[in-house]
Amino acid sequence: MSDTLLEVKNLRKHFPIKGGIIGKQVGAVKAVDGVSFLIKKGETLGLVGESGCGKSTTGRLLMRLLEPTEGQIYFEDQEITNLSRKEMKSLRREMQMIFQDPFASLNPRHTVERILSEPLIVQGMGRAEDRKQKVREMLEVVGLSSYHAKRYPHQFSGGQRQRIGIARALMTRPKLIVADEPVSALDVSIQSQVLNLLQELQKEFDLTYLFIAHDLGVVRHISDRVGVMYLGHLVELTESERLYEQPLHPYTKALLSAVPIADPKAARNEQEILTGDIPSPSNPPKGCPFHTRCPKAMDICQSQSPDFQEVEPAHYVACHLYHDGKLHV
Amino acid sequence: MEVKNLTTSFFTDDGIIPAVDHVSFHINKGEILGVVGESGCGKSVTSLSIMGLVPNPPGKIISGEILLNGEDLTKLPEKRMRQIRGNDVAMIFQEPMTSLNPVYTIGNQLVEAIRLHQKMDKKQARNRAIEIMKHVGLPRAEELIDDYPHQLSGGMRQRVMIAMAMVCEPKLLIADEPTTALDVTIQAQILRLMKKLNENDQTAIMLITHDLGVVAEVCERVVVMYAGKIVEEGDVESIYEHPKHPYTIGLIKSVPDVHMKIDKLYSIPGNVPKPGSIKQGCAFAARCEFATNRCFTETPPLLDMGHGKSVRCFLHETVEDVSYSV
Ligand SMILES: Nc1ncnc2c1ncn2[C@@H]1O[C@H](COP(=O)(O)OP(=O)(O)OP(=O)(O)O)[C@@H](O)[C@H]1O
Ligand SMILES: Nc1ncnc2c1ncn2[C@@H]1O[C@H](COP(=O)(O)OP(=O)(O)OP(=O)(O)O)[C@@H](O)[C@H]1O
Ligand code: SF4
Ligand code: SF4
Ligand SMILES: [Mg+2]
Ligand SMILES: [Mg+2]
């Protein structure tokens, strides 16, 4: 077997925009517009980019929670793009999701016991007694106590609720976890607890993560490789160290220089600030999606969209500046 | 402006919550002061107290003074307070949509604010509005002026809010998490704008945030709050390089760095307590690795360390210069 757990090819999701009194389609939000990448077994692939660039949509597509407009998804070398609902059901235990807002994603009227048992019941896994036992074990694993099983979500703090969300995702012993902004709503001190927990669990349970976040520091900390998205496109993808030390795409460079750094000496350096706003994904620029804000834009960028290509080993960039790993200008 | 011993409490069914608990600090003319701390530590209630906007009931300023040019804002009648809010102190909030009126165009709202302050006819005020909009970096100001708030992006709305605040040329601008809802590239634009405003017009700014990076980038001095109290104060460089309070140390070490990868992040054990839930001792004691028995029974005072620095922790009572490197 190959060491690839999941692969997506040319994935697209266009949400229709309906208008007029008869509600016919007048346009489309190109939320994800031709994205290809793979996730290796046991790695953490980080996905960063600014609000609305399509990170969550990508995550939901590969979980098959949304139907792609185009493209293929492979899980353990098997194409799952067209699996029926029923066929997907058994696959669900292999892939689980953790969400940003732990409160909104936990049913307030159910006890923690019930919340954590649900994925097992859906999958028809275990007898009632075994399930109880598993819930208690899992609570300990994520740093809560078995007596918490009888409580309701509102009786927990934000960090504890996120632990419950993580416990729920782990109940079916999945191989892949898509974590969509799992620490964005948490205070820094709680955030570092949850990040450490996710890393410990990865070792213990041999997990593979797709880790979605807009915080570049958090993503660097947790990821082996990182992909950068802009307006529905992947613009750069490589090993985490390389991306942060030697970013190639002009957008990645601008993004990294815009991050405020918690070090007054370093922070006072002049940074290159991008001007203008992010264009709307319902009316993306022609050519390179970044050309309206790119400090390096050339004529070709306005008409031709650059291919996502390997410009040096294991380093993918979509930009006309790079051709066979060399600066084109 | 000087805040002395401010206590603002909320009277709720769960009891009295001292959201701001004997807080004292000052902001010098023309400086940028950062107020940091985690969710619920009392940052917003502090700023609402200064603005005279604490919702009452359930909230009330229990004690203390807020001195602005010699006037105590806590004692002023609402009518005078309204003048102060329009002229001397302005505030921008995290979510600009809540403070812009959705049924009026950007232009209407700016023109009205301008005419409240300066004797101008509508035409002149409109030209002034366009000028200010350009000044805060809003593109296509001539067209945008006739748009409604919902037609603008988050970053543009925040710029409109800053333009509104600038109209009255305040001496003090209170910015409560002005960039928290924004993307980093837009955040960088807004922070640069605020710095420019501070440098050109000598506007003092109180910048409230939980993002230690933002503070490092724009502030000169910092106040760190924990559970309703100030636990450390000083200039930005000493706080980041030689934090003294165990909470500040933990906070700085918890932030993952974009420029360096470490194996395991430091994390402060336990959770942030609700203000008022700790009845005696140091509010940080249950999470502090240096805590002694005394920390659980006695409340540490805010110790003056000289050079404008202070820290609320028994560890610094005897030794003059204990500090920990991060
Ligand atoms: N169900 C939907 N119907 C229509 N448009 C949608 C839908 N879901 C997402 N979109 C749009 O698709 C684009 C991408 O959204 P997505 O949620 O994937 O972004 P994101 O990168 O996760 O952003 P954020 O950081 O804000 O979570 C956005 O413009 C969004 O408005
Ligand atoms: N209207 C209210 N009624 C009751 N309690 C309140 C009210 N507003 C604030 N509080 C209490 O005051 C405390 C301080 O709140 P505040 O909004 O100042 O926190 P903050 O530091 O601004 O946090 P955040 O970073 O989440 O904005 C909170 O713990 C909250 O319990
Ligand atoms: S293709 Fe052109 S516009 Fe796009 S990032 Fe590269 S240089 Fe900039
Ligand atoms: S007073 Fe005691 S508990 Fe509080 S921060 Fe200092 S050492 Fe820790
Ligand atoms: Mg999202
Ligand atoms: Mg607040």
Mutate to test the interface with B, among A162, A222, A263 (most CBs of B within 10 A): A263
Compute the distance between CA of residue A282 and CA of residue A263 in angstroms, rounded to an integer. 38
**Whole-number pLDDT of residue A327:** 56
* B228 Cα nearest atom in ligand 2: 14
Of A50, A191, A256, the CB nearest to B258: A256
Cα of A181 from ligand 5 centre, angstroms: 7
Q: Give the model's pLDDT for residue B180.
A: 85
Residue in chain B lying closest to A263 (CA): B216
pLDDT for the residue numbered B326? 43
Ligand 4 atom at minimum distance from B283 CA? 4
The per-residue pLDDT for range A176-218, each reduced to its tens digit, is 999 999 998 888 988 999 999 999 999 999 999 999 999 999 9
Instruction: Write down the H helix ranges in B246-301.
Output: 246-254, 293-297
Give the residue, out of A251, A300, A309, A321, with the most ligand 3 atoms within 8 A of its beta carbon, to mutate for a pocket test.
Answer: A321
Q: What percent of chain A has pLDDT over 70?
A: 96
CA–CA min distance A192, chain B (Å): 5
The residue whose CA has the least distance to atom 8 of ligand 3 is: A297
Q: Whose CA is nearest to atom 1 of ligand 3?
A: A319
H-helix segments, chain B: 43-51, 78-87, 106-117, 122-135, 141-144, 154-167, 184-201, 212-218, 236-241, 246-254, 293-297
Residue B219 neighbours by CB under 8 Å, 6+ apart: B32, B33, B34, B207, B236
Band (pLDDT 50/70/90 cuts) for residue A271 is low
Residue A328 in this model has a pLDDT that exceeds 60: no
The minimum CA-CA distance between A268 and chain B, rounded to whole Å, is: 6
Q: What is the pLDDT of residue B317?
A: 86
pLDDT at residue A232 tops 50: yes
Does B185 contact A273 at a Cβ distance shorter than 8 Å? yes
Whether the complex's predicted ipTM is more than 0.85 is answered with yes
The predicted pLDDT at position B96 comes to: 67
CB-nearest to A264 from B216, B265, B269 is B216
Q: Within chain A, where are the H helices? A: 55-62, 85-92, 112-122, 128-141, 158-170, 188-205, 216-222, 240-245, 250-258, 264-267, 299-303
| Cβ–Cβ contact B145 with A under 8 A | no
Contact B11, B60 (CB under 8 A): yes
Mutation pick from A154, A155, A231, A277 vs chain B, by most beta carbons of B within 10 Å, is: A277
Cβ–ligand 2 contact at B55 (below 6 Å): yes
**pLDDT in the model for residue A265:** 77
Instruction: State how far residue B235 is from chain A, nearest Cα, in angstroms.
Output: 10
What pLDDT is attached to residue A267? Answer: 57
Contacts of B271 in chain A (CB under 8 A): 157, 159-160, 190
Splitting chain B (326 residues) into consecutive groups of 10 residues, what average pLDDT does each group show?
95 88 95 94 94 91 94 93 88 78 92 86 93 85 90 85 86 92 88 90 94 93 96 96 96 89 88 81 95 95 93 84 48
Least confident of A22-26, A73-77, B176-180: A22-26
Q: Does B266 contact A199 at a Cβ distance shorter than 8 Å?
A: no
pLDDT at B319: 57
Give B87-90's long-range contacts (Cβ < 8 A, gap of 24+): B87/B117, B87/B168, B87/B170, B88/B170, B88/B171, B88/B172, B89/B50, B89/B51, B89/B170, B89/B171, B89/B172, B89/B173, B89/B174, B90/B164, B90/B165, B90/B166, B90/B168, B90/B170, B90/B172, B90/B173, B90/B174
B184 close to A (CB below 8 A): yes
A211 and A240 Cβ atoms separated by less than 8 Å: no
Mean pLDDT of chain A, nearest integer: 91
- Å from CA of A280 to ligand 1 middle: 11
State whether the beta carbon of B41 lies less than 6 angstroms from ligand 2.
yes
Nearest CA in chain A to B273: A157
With a CB-CB cutoff of 8 Å, which residues 258-277 of chain A face chain B? 258-268, 271, 273-277
Residues A80-133: tens digit of each pLDDT: 999 998 889 889 999 999 988 767 788 999 999 999 999 999 888 888 899 999
**Residue B228 alpha carbon to ligand 2 centre in Å:** 9
Q: What is the pLDDT of residue A155?
A: 86
DSSP notation for A131-197: HHHHHHHHHHHTT--GGGGGS-GGGS-HHHHHHHHHHHHHTT--SEEEEESTTTTS-HHHHHHHHHH
Supply the pLDDT for residue A270. Answer: 59
Identify the helix (H) or strand (E) that includes residue B62.
strand B59-68
Query: What is the amino acid identity at position A327?
Result: L
**Is A187's Cβ below 8 Å from some Cβ in B?**
yes
Domain boundary assignment for chain B: 2-88+170-316, 93-169
CB contact under 8 A, A260 and B268: no
| Matching CATH number, B2-88+170-316, of 3.30.70.3340, 3.40.50.10420, 3.40.50.300, 3.40.50.2300 | 3.40.50.300
Distances (CA, A) of A283 to A23, A252, B20: 19, 22, 47
